[in-house]
C-alpha cells in the first residue's frame, strides 16, 4: 500500500468536498461520512487495504447530483482505489496499460 499516494488522494478529496459542500448538500454529507477515513489516511494511519464495503459514498454519487462534478468524482475514485490498494492488482495494471495504449 502506497501511504503517500493515499495521503495525497485523501487531501485532494477533502479539498474538493470542502469546495462543493456549500453549494451541494450531498458533498457536506459525504465529507461527514468519510471524515474518519480521510483523517486516518492524511495521518498515515491506514496501513492495510480497506474493504470496499467499508467505504461510504458510492450511493451518494449514484443517487445525487455529485456525479455531475467530474473533478469530485475523480477525486473520490482515486481515494477509493488507493484505499482498497487496487493499483497493485493485476486487473488494474492490465486496464491501466490498455488505457495508456488507447
What is the full DSSP assignment across 8-52? Answer: HHHHHHHHHHHHHTTT-HHHHHHHHHHHHHHHHHHTT---SPPPG
What is the reported pLDDT for 86? Answer: 74
pLDDT above 70 as % of the chain: 88
Q: Which long-range contacts (CB under 8 A, 24 or more apart) does 88-96 make?
A: 88/1
Tell me: the pLDDT tens digits for 29-75?
Answer: 999 999 999 999 999 999 999 998 999 998 888 899 898 999 999 99
pLDDT (0 to 100) of residue 89? 66
Burial class (CB in 10 A: 0-12, 13-18, 19+), 85: middle
Amino acid at each position: 500500500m502506497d501511504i503517500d499516494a493515499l495521503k495525497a488522494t485523501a487531501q485532494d478529496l477533502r479539498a474538493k468536498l470542502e469546495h462543493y459542500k456549500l453549494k451541494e448538500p450531498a458533498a457536506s454529507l459525504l465529507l461527514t461520512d468519510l471524515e474518519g477515513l480521510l483523517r486516518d489516511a492524511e495521518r498515515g494511519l491506514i496501513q492495510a487495504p480497506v474493504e470496499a464495503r467499508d467505504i461510504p459514498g458510492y450511493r451518494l454519487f449514484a443517487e445525487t447530483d455529485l456525479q455531475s462534478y467530474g473533478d469530485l468524482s475523480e477525486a473520490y475514485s482515486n481515494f477509493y482505489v488507493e484505499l482498497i490498494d487496487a493499483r497493485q492488482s493485476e486487473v488494474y495494471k492490465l486496464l491501466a496499460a490498455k488505457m495508456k495504449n488507447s
